[in-house]
Structure 1
Amino acid sequence: MRTGIATVCLSGTLKEKMQACAIAGFDGIEIFEQDLVTSPLSPEDVRKMAADLGLGLDLYQPFRDFDSVSEDILQENLRRADAKFKLMSRLGMDTILVCTNVGTATIDDDDLRAEQLSRLAELAGDHGVKVAYEALAWGKYVNDYEHAHRLVDTVDHPNLGTCLDSFHILSRDWDTAPIEAIKPEKIFFVQVADAPKLSMDVLSWSRHYRVFPGEGQFELAKFMGHVARAGYSGPVSLEVFNDVFRQSDVERTAVDAMRSLIWLEEQSAKWLDANAASLAAGAASGDSPANAAGRRRYPMELATLPKVAEPAGFNFAEVKTDEPAQLETLLGQLGFEFDGRHRTKDVQLWSMGQARVIINEQAPSHSEPAIAALGFDVDSPVIASARAQQLKAPVVPRKVQADEEVFQGIAAPDSTEIFLCQGSPDGTAAWTHEFGEGLEHPSAGAQAVIDHVNLAQPWQHFDEAVLFYTSALALEPQPFAEVASPSGLVRSQVMVTSDRAVRLVLNLAPVLQQEPGQQEPGQQGPGQQGNGARKSYQEHIAFAVDDLVATARAAQARGLDFLQIPANYYEDLDARFALDPAFLATLKELNLLYDRDANGEFLHFYTATVGNVFFEMVERRGNYDGYGAPNAPVRHAVQYDSVHAHNLHR
């Protein structure tokens, strides 16, 4: 599949955008007119630079408000088009995007539109230019791609064809199956964008909230499957208008964009394979315009990636700090056992059953404790790593000595290191022998597993993280939620495996500006977001046990500092659930939180925060599948008060 991207997707100058696209590995680009107009580069400079970078110049866009106008306006539009066609010749480009009219259309007449488009096509032909006619979802008279293509068919000119844009089609819930009836030679260009499902006007939705494929909720694989069946073999190009992307690092955004097309290519191939039977049935009835013999016969060849199963579970979680004393105390109070230090590294292992926490003391001086790495059990770490690398995931190097486990490591968008570990049926981990003898077997003490991990995401990389975990680790995003906190709304995106053995919660939280002198602007250490901002939302690791009340009493006896839950919470809890008074008293005594739904019950408590990290202990009863969402605002408020009280007494 030939990949492309519109320069409007990225931040920076035209030169910076082109360089970033080449680094990310795109085959070509669309030049958005404003990027050229504001650039000091001449069209000839742009043409040479593209050639030097190995980038094709696939599309010049947009040409707006051409058709459905009076003759005097049409003459002005043709004059404007002639100037753009001459400019394209200097650029060495042969395809221009013409949108259906939004602003100046006054005459709703398909015959007139066809006649005007015919005159445009004739002019384009004189310059060797192809016109790709696109139906904008908010077009005044033409907003449906089938309507736009009927006009193209009516004109029947070799220099006029259709541009199919997934956003304009899917935002209006147009059926994508009719794409297959379009002759492949009349599909001049294909643009793709994803988006979250939102209830708002289409124009605002399009201008601010598009995302890269895999980061939204559109059925893009189905859309691309119909495009492939139609016989299209040209560029598949990203056109994404997004306020965050246009403020983020240009090279990083370009890599994220390329990852999304690699993912989309694989998903489209899977859709074609899954729907091969329906295609064969259509061919048998004589109504399929595409080749019925299978996906590999289509002109657009869709590559796939190494196939991997979803992770079987968490192998470990790692917290990095140069001052481990508080973490050691906290884990000991929770009931974790100290299993020793690594024989060659400044690293400790703590465990409770199959829940393993590594304290890594190899941190910069005075850095606060923060989640640094997660280990996942996978069937084949080497294959899983190869897939992630093909998806542009950076490799994390790890020094090992003889007889030490070789982990396959990749970096997540928030710089969390992800290690792919060889899973075992009994949940043990072979690498624990590096911390001492006899640790290959579960502890005889309290039993626990890592239930979920909550990671705070930098605002500019939240959508990137969703795609990363979806594509590289086969986690499935759940519907996102928003949770109120004293410092603003926290957007929460849960990523899970089908059996819920892995639950990863990504949170996009508001940030509080640092106090002067805390950190130099632009420096980003563990637990820090960019631009000198400090996270106002901390990260945590949650451990599941069979008896939370007993775990809490034991932790209390060891002196654990629980997160203190206000009495108002328990009054509200009693009003909502009418709990047994003795049970409610126990919850209040131990600072436990409670939730219940039709499937079961959920008990949990939180520790105080150490640096950027705190821990949660949970008990799931029945088939409760949530995270105690009604309790989240309480936790946020208590943590907020705790942080501010700490700052006041420094």
Structure 2
Amino acid sequence: MRTSIATVSLSGSLTEKLTAAARAGFDGVEIFENDLLASPLTPEEVRDRCADLGLTVDLYQPVRDVEAVPEDVFADNLRRARHKFELMRRLGTGTVLVCSSVSPLAVDDDALAAEQLSRLADLAQDHGVRVAYEALAWGRHVSTYDHAWRIVADAGHPALGTCLDSFHILSRGSDPRGIEEIPGDKIFFLQLADAPLLAMDVLQWSRHYRCFPGQGEFDIPDLVRRVLHTGYDGPLSLEVFNDVFRQAEAGPTAVDAHRSLLVLQEAVGTADLPVPVVPTGVAFAELVTPDTAPLTALLRALGFARTARHRGKPVDLWEQGEGRILVNTGPAVRRGGSRLAAIGLESPDPAGAARRAEALHAPVLPRRRGPRDAPLDAVAAPDGTELFFCAPSSPELPGWRADFAAVEHDPAAPDVTGIDHLSLTQPWHQFDEAALFHRGVLGLRAQQSVDVADPYGLLRSRAVTGPGGGVRIALTVGAAPTDDTVHAQHIALATGDVVAAARRFRAAGGRLLPIPANYYDDLAARFDLPEQELRTYRELGILYDRDAHGAFRHCYTHTVGRVFFELVQRDTGYRGYGAPNAPVRLAAQHAVRAVTSG
């Protein structure tokens, strides 16, 4: 299907928006009136610019507060519309969006609305224009799509149809099944936007919290299937109002937008993409550091052993159980302190995973590779983390591990069994993009977002997981643009006995994050735990959580650079990440940071 995007969904000048849309792969655009009014280009120059970029101008929007008004007001509306229709001829577009009125002058009279919209359509038809009437969710008298369609049907004009907008329909809880009763040739346009489920005024919800399909919680695929069932053959067009997108760079936003439509088309059966190849496990986590001493001391205290060295690069392999950490000290990592730079994902079909990524605008990254290096493909996640697709290793097929030469080492400790999950701090403007990327490109399942209180703001977190918990990634973002540089990434290490692992770590010279005594007083009130167990947790700084399926015990190391580790004992059925304890952990980390920086 053809794809389109409203210029209001992107930041920058009109020229920048058009260029970003074309480069991302869109077929057309909706020109938002304010973008045209603020542009130095004439309508003819905008039309020519779109043609040069391979874009059609699919819609001009919006014309507002037209119908069901006193006759003298409507006469002025027709005069205004005549100017807009002439402008559209110059712009090269044939469909105009007319929103249901919010004017205090509008009256609750469907017959009058139909009669005046018919007269507007007469004028539009004289100019070669079609009128797409849309019900705003906050319209004064017309606020639902079925009501708008009844008025259009009563008008019975060939140049008058309806525009369906997923946000206006789903935010009001309207039943989309009625869409299938609308003839497809009377649906003149389809606008799409997702959103998180929020209990707030629908106008503010619309203006500030819309997002691209697949990033929110509306069932957009179901709505689109119903629209297509009518025979609608127009474009799938995105109209997203969002405070983040308005401040983010237009190019990446347009790519994210187009990716959302590709994933949506796949869901409704109108796009043939390479099938998702869901990763089955974490092969390794790669840390880059300008100073190995603090990081390697931390790894040794955790019980890891340095087992191998890359044959051609300054990269060491540290192992414990199935947990593998790469430490990279190359010249490109001298700034910013230790950080999590790459993740190796075990994949049953690495080549297929790479094809899927490229089809969804995540091209394989160029990589310096020696003649004997394993042929690993990697793509960049929205936050810049490199994701490597790794075939599962075995003694017969070592895969990426063949790049490393073994070194003499003491045995690793028996505590850590593998990597339980990874936490990646996202740039503030890419949180929703990251969720869609990991779901669409990697085939992971996205859970609901949760808000976590921080002493200096509010964090959002959303986990993406693979089947069976082989891959768990928690995506987090702060409430302000600077938060992504403040909040650290972390690697959670699975252990069968967190108490033994914590004691061993501390005996080896490691420092556990101190947890306030007040937490344990509250823990005793929340859970009926044995007194000795509580004393042990208090002594070691172990936190505790429980859900309907099991318990979760965890503790944290101090931070090195931008990275810290978590020791996790997860009962088999426990599904979370200890979110109720996150505010305590964040406050404790702030307290440690204040002491060390002071």
TM-score normalised according to structure 1 size: 0.89
Partner of 2:341, secondary structure, is: strand
Secondary structure of 2:366's counterpart equals coil
Secondary structure of 1:65 counterpart:
coil
The equivalences for 1:155-194 within 5 A come to 155-194=155-194
Distance 1:62 1:414, change over 3 A: same
Tell me, yes or no, if the aligned pair for 1:137 and 1:171 is still in contact at 8 Å.
Answer: yes
> Which one-letter code corresponds to 1:472 in the other structure?
V
Residues 380-433 of structure 1: CA deviation (Å, up to 9, x unaligned): 111111111111114222222233211111001110111111135899963223
2:472 corresponds to which of 503, 507, 516 = 503
Look up the match of 1:25: 25
Question: Post-superposition shift, 1:512?
Answer: 8.6
Is contact 1:181-1:230 (8 Å) kept?
yes
Equivalences, count: 595
Distance, in Å, in 2 between the alignment partners of 1:581 and 1:5 is 60
1:628 to 565, 570, 578: 578
Q: Distance in 1 between matches of 2:232 and 2:106?
A: 34
How far, CA to CA, are the matches of 1:144 and 1:574 in structure 2?
51
Q: Is the CA contact 1:462–1:508 (under 8 Å) kept in the aligned structure 2?
A: yes
The residue aligned with 2:260 is 260
Give the deviation of 1:590 after TM superposition: 2.1
Aligned match of 1:400: 369
Q: Which aligned pairs between 1:574-585 and structure 2 lie closer than 5 A?
A: 574-585=524-535
Counterparts of 1:486-635 in structure 2, within 5 Å, are 486-510=455-479, 535-635=485-585
Give the match for residue 316 of structure 1.
Answer: 284
* Alpha-carbon distance in structure 1 between the residues aligned to 2:174 and 2:479: 36
CA deviations on 1:181-202 (whole Å, 9 max, x unpaired) are 2212111111000000010111
Instruction: Give the direction of change, closer, same or farther, for the CA distance of 1:425–1:227 in structure 2 (3 Å limit).
Output: farther
Map of 2:425 onto structure 1 = 456
Task: Pick which of 66-75 and 303-312 moved more.
Answer: 303-312
**Quick one: distance in 1 between partners of 2:548 and 2:243?**
40
In 1, Cα distance between equivalents of 2:466 and 2:395: 19
Shift of 1:575: 2.6
Find the counterpart in structure 2 of residue 52 from structure 1.
Answer: 52
1:500-522 residue CA offsets vs partner (Å, 9 max, x unmatched) = 22111011124596xxxxxxxxx
Q: Which amino acid aligns with 1:389?
A: E
Q: Is the 8 A contact 1:100 1:143 kept in 2?
A: yes
Structure 1, 125-134 or 421-430: larger mean CA deviation: 421-430
Equivalent position of 1:131 in the other structure: 131
Among all aligned residue pairs of Structure 1 and Structure 2, give the percentage whose two residues are the same amino acid: 52
Listed as ranges, the matches of 1:59-458 within 5 Å are 59-269=59-269, 302-362=270-330, 363-423=332-392, 430-437=399-406, 445-458=414-427
Cα distance in structure 2, aligned partners of 1:557 and 1:349: 23
Q: 1:103 to 1:239 in 2, by over 3 A?
A: same
8 Å CA contact 1:512–1:536 kept in 2: the answer is no
Of the structure 1 ranges 117-126 and 359-368, higher mean CA displacement relative to structure 2 is found in 359-368
- Secondary structure of the corresponding residue to residue 246 of structure 2: helix
CA distance in 1 between partners of 2:572 and 2:470 (Å): 16
One-letter amino acid of the structure 1 residue matched with residue 275 of structure 2:
K
- Equivalent position of 1:530 in the other structure: none
CA distances 1:432-457 after superposition (whole Å, capped 9, x unpaired):
23222599xx9795451110101111
Is the 2:315–2:327 Cα contact (8 Å) retained in structure 1?
yes
SS at match of 2:575: coil
Contact 2:213/2:260 (<8 A) preserved: yes
The letter for the 2-side match of 1:340 is: A
Output the CA distance in 1 between the equivalents of 2:394 and 2:156. Answer: 64
Task: Give distance in 2, aligned partners of 1:548 and 1:428.
Answer: 33
> Mean alpha-carbon deviation: is it higher for 597-606 or for 457-466?
597-606
- Please name the residue that 1:294 is paired with: none
Please say if residues 303 and 412 of structure 2, whose CA atoms lie closer than 8 Å, have aligned partners that are also in contact. no
Shift of 1:354: 0.9
Q: What is the CA–CA distance in structure 2 between the aligned matches of 1:417 and 1:558, rounded to whole Å?
A: 32
Answer with 103-112 or 50-59: which moved more.
Answer: 103-112
- Whether the aligned pair in 2 keeps the contact of 1:346 and 1:361 (CA below 8 Å) is yes
Give distance in 2, aligned partners of 1:229 and 1:619: 49
Q: Identify the residue that residue 273 of structure 1 maps to in structure 2.
A: none
Q: Residue 282 of structure 2 contacts residue 345 of structure 2 at CA under 8 Å; is this kept in 1?
A: yes
* 1:246 match: secondary structure: coil
Q: Do the aligned partners of 1:69 and 1:104 also contact (CA within 8 Å) in 2?
A: no
Cα distance in 1 for residues equivalent to 2:398 and 2:530? 42
d(CA) in 1 for partners of 2:43, 2:116: 29
Partner amino acid for 2:549? N
Shift of 1:327: 0.9
Q: Is the 8 A contact 2:307 2:407 kept in 1?
A: no
Classify the secondary structure of the residue corresponding to 1:163: strand
Q: Shift of the alpha carbon at 1:622?
A: 4.4
Contact 2:309 2:406 in 1 (8 A): no
Cα distance per residue 1:36-87 (max 9 Å; x no partner): 0111111111011111111101100000000010100010000001010000
Query: 1:582-627 CA distances to partner (integer Å, 9 max, x unpaired)?
Result: 2222222222222223322211111110000000111112422222
Structure 1 residue identity aligned to 2:314: D
SS of equivalent residue, structure 1 residue 624: coil
| 1:472 aligned partner | 441
Deviation by residue 1:178-225 (Cα, 9 ceiling, x = unmatched): 222221211111100000001011111111110011110010000110
Flag structure 2 segments of 5+ consecutive residues without an equivalent.
none
Q: Provide the rounded CA distance (Å) in 1 between the counterparts of 2:161 and 2:459.
A: 45
CA contact (8 A) 1:354 1:427 kept: no
Contact 1:105 1:140 in 2 (8 A): no
Deviation at 1:152, TM superposition (A): 1.6
For the 8 Å contact 2:421–2:474, the answer to whether it is kept is yes
Whole-angstrom CA distance in 2 between matches of 1:510 and 1:128: 48
Structure 1 CA distance for aligned equivalents of residues 491 and 518 of structure 2: 26
Tell me by how many angstroms 1:564 deviates. 1.4
Label 1:600 to 1:425 Cα distance change in 2 as closer, same or farther (>3 A).
farther
